[in-house]
C-alpha cells in the first residue's frame, strides 16, 4: 500500500486549501516552499505531481529525474520556466491557472495607472518631506482616454473590462487572437496603438519573440507620450529603453510590477543603477511583482488548478 501513495511536491507558498484538498484526494503532500533547484532534483525521483510558481526552472534535467511525474501545476500565468513541450512528450500534463489571478492583475494595473495619472505616490512623498504642492500635482482623468493593451489574454481582457466605466477607448493587440472587438474595445495593430494611445499596458507572456519587446524602437514610435505599465514579465521590457523614454519625454510615466532581475540583493552594477534611477524618478512606480498576488487570487489559483485536474471536492 505504501508504494501506491501518490506524492506531490509544492515548491512555493500556497493557500492551505490546496494542501487540504490534495491530501483528501489521496496525495502525500511534500510542502517545501523554500526548496531550491538542486534540492528538488534530489527529491523528485519518485514524485507523481509538482506545483510551481516562478521560483524554479523546470527544465529537461529535472523532468528526466522524475520518471513517475504525471502533472505539473503552475499557479498563475506564464509557462516560461517550464519546458512544457518536453514534458508533454514525456506524457506529463502541464496546467496553468491564469483564470485564478487575472482579476487581481487587472485591478493592480488599474491602481498603478490611477496612481500615476493623479500623482498619488509622488505627492504623498512630498507631503512626508513637508511640501504641500497643489498646482504641481494637478492630475489627469482617465475618463475618455485611449488605452492600448498589448496582449489580450486573461489579464489583458480583464483589465479592459475594468475600463468600461471610464468611457475609455481600448485599442487591443494580440498577435495570436482575433475577433474579440466589442463596443469600446477595438482590435488594433501596434502602429495604431503607438499613434493614439494615452496609456499602454503590457499583458504578454515571456517568449523568445517577446523578449525586450518594449525597447528603444517601441518607445520612440509613441506619439502621445503615454503612461507605460507592465504587469506581465520583466524580460518583456528593456529597462534602459524605459529610462531613455523618460529622459526623452516619450512617456509621461511608468509603472512596473516586474523587473528582469527581481533578486534585489544580487543586482549587478548596471541593474543597481537602473533601479536607482527608476525608484527616484517622480513619475515612476515600482511594486514587487504582487499584481497577481491578492488574498482572493491566492486561494482562487488553487481552486482553478484543482478544477482543471478534476480534483475538486471530497473523495466519495
The DSSP result for 118-130, as a single string, is TTHHHHHHHHHTT
Whether 180 and 268 map to the same domain: the answer is yes
CB-CB contact of 189 with 173 (8 Å): yes
Q: Are 141 and 210 found together in one domain? A: yes
- pLDDT of residue 153 exceeding 90, the answer is yes
Task: Match 533578486 to its residue by C-alpha cell.
Answer: 263
For residue 54, name the pLDDT band (cuts at 50, 70, 90).
confident
Q: Are residues 158 and 271 in the same domain?
A: yes
| Cβ atoms of residues 302 and 75 within 8 Å | yes
pLDDT category, 313, cuts 50, 70, 90?
A: low
Whether 139 and 187 share a structural domain: yes
pLDDT for 4 equals 62
Residue 316: the pLDDT is 32
Look at residue 75 and tell me whether its pLDDT is greater than 90. yes
Task: Return the higher-pLDDT residue of 78 and 290.
Answer: 290
Q: pLDDT band for 280, please (50, 70, 90 cuts).
A: very high
Grid cell 484543482 — which residue? Answer: 306
Q: Which residue has the cell 534585489?
A: 264
Task: State the Cα–Cα distance between residues 102 and 46, nearest whole angstrom.
Answer: 33
Checking if the pLDDT of 202 tops 70, the result is yes
Whether 79 is in a domain gets the answer yes
pLDDT at residue 315, as a whole number: 38
Domains in the chain, number: 2
pTM here? Answer: 0.92
- Which of the listed residues 42, 62, 96 is the one where a domain comes to its end? 96
Return the pLDDT at 79: 87
Overall average pLDDT of the 49-63 stretch = 94
Mean pLDDT value of segment 72-79:
91
Cα angle 142, 146, 149; round to 5: 105
Q: In terms of domains, do 117 and 262 share one? A: yes
Q: Considering the chain, what is the average pLDDT of its residues?
A: 95
Q: Is the pLDDT of residue 276 over 80?
A: yes
- Give CA separation, 60 vs 66, 84, 163, in Å: 10, 9, 41
Q: Which of the residue ranges 53-57, 78-82, 295-299 has the most confident prediction, judged by mean pLDDT?
A: 295-299
Distance CA 241, CA 219 (A): 7
Domain contains 311: no
Q: What percent of the chain has pLDDT over 90?
A: 93
pLDDT digit string, tens, across residues 216-271: 999 999 999 999 999 999 999 999 999 999 999 999 999 999 999 999 999 999 99
Containing domain of residue 11, as a range? 2-96
Q: Say if 303 falls within a structural domain.
A: no
Claim to verify: residue 65 and residue 133 sit in the same structural domain: no
Q: What is the pLDDT of residue 161?
A: 98
> Which burial class, exposed, middle or buried, applies to 261 when counting CB atoms under 10 A from its CB (0-12, 13-18, 19+)?
middle
In a domain, 315, yes or no: no
Instruction: Starting at the earlier edge strand, list the strands of the sheet with 227-230.
Output: 185-187, 169-173, 146-150, 199-202, 227-230, 253-256, 284-286
* Residue 5, pLDDT score: 78
> What count of other Cβ atoms lies within 10 Å of the Cβ of residue 151?
24
Are residue 125 and residue 192 in the same domain, yes or no?
yes
Band of pLDDT at residue 88, cut at 50, 70 and 90: very high
Regarding whether 239 and 191 lie in a shared domain, the answer is yes
Residue 54's DSSP bridge partners are: none
Q: Go through the chain and tell me how many residues it has.
A: 316
Please report whether residue 294 resides in a domain.
no
Q: Judge whether 183 lies within some domain.
A: yes
Give the distance from CA 67 to its chain's centroid: 31
Question: Is the same domain home to 112 and 248?
Answer: yes
The verdict on 50 and 185 lying in the same domain is no
Residue 140 forms part of a structural domain: yes
For residues 8-25, one letter each, b for 16 or more C-beta atoms within 10 angstroms of the residue's C-beta and e for the rest, the string is bbbbbebbeebbebbeeb
Q: What is the mean pLDDT of residues 30-34?
A: 96
| Same-domain check for residues 39 and 114 | no
CATH number at residue 14: 3.40.50.720
Is 139 found in the same domain as 10? no
Amino acid at each position: 500500500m505504501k508504494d501506491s501513495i501518490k506524492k506531490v511536491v509544492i515548491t512555493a507558498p500556497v493557500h492551505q486549501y490546496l494542501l487540504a484538498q490534495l491530501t483528501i484526494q489521496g496525495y502525500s503532500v511534500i510542502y517545501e516552499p523554500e526548496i531550491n533547484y538542486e534540492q528538488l532534483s534530489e527529491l523528485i525521483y519518485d514524485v507523481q505531481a509538482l506545483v510551481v510558481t516562478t521560483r524554479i526552472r523546470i527544465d529537461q534535467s529535472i523532468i528526466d529525474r522524475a520518471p513517475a511525474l504525471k502533472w505539473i501545476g503552475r499557479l498563475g500565468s506564464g509557462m516560461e520556466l517550464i519546458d512544457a513541450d518536453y514534458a508533454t512528450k514525456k506524457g506529463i500534463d502541464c496546467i496553468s491557472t491564469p483564470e485564478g489571478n487575472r482579476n487581481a492583475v487587472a485591478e493592480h494595473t488599474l491602481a498603478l495607472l490611477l496612481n500615476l495619472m493623479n500623482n498619488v505616490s509622488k505627492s504623498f512623498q512630498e507631503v512626508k518631506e513637508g511640501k504641500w504642492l497643489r498646482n504641481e500635482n494637478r492630475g489627469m482623468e482617465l475618463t475618455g482616454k485611449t488605452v492600448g493593451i498589448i496582449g489580450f489574454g486573461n489579464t489583458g481582457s480583464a483589465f479592459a473590462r475594468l475600463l468600461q466605466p471610464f468611457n475609455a477607448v481600448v485599442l487591443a493587440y494580440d498577435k495570436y487572437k482575433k475577433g474579440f472587438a466589442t463596443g469600446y474595445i477595438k482590435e488594433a495593430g501596434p502602429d495604431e496603438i503607438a499613434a493614439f494611445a494615452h496609456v499602454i499596458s503590457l499583458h504578454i507572456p515571456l517568449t523568445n519573440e517577446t523578449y525586450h519587446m518594449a525597447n528603444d524602437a517601441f518607445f520612440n514610435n509613441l506619439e502621445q507620450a503615454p503612461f507605460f505599465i507592465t504587469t506581465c514579465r520583466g524580460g518583456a521590457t528593456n529597462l534602459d529603453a524605459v529610462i531613455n523614454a523618460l529622459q526623452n519625454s516619450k512617456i509621461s510615466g511608468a509603472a512596473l510590477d516586474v523587473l528582469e532581475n527581481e533578486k534585489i540583493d544580487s543586482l549587478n552594477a548596471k541593474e543597481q543603477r537602473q533601479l536607482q534611477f527608476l525608484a527616484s524618478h517622480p513619475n515612476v512606480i515600482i511594486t514587487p511583482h504582487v499584481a497577481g498576488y491578492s488574498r482572493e487570487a491566492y486561494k482562487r489559483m488553487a481552486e482553478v488548478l484543482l478544477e482543471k485536474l478534476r480534483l475538486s471536492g471530497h473523495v466519495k
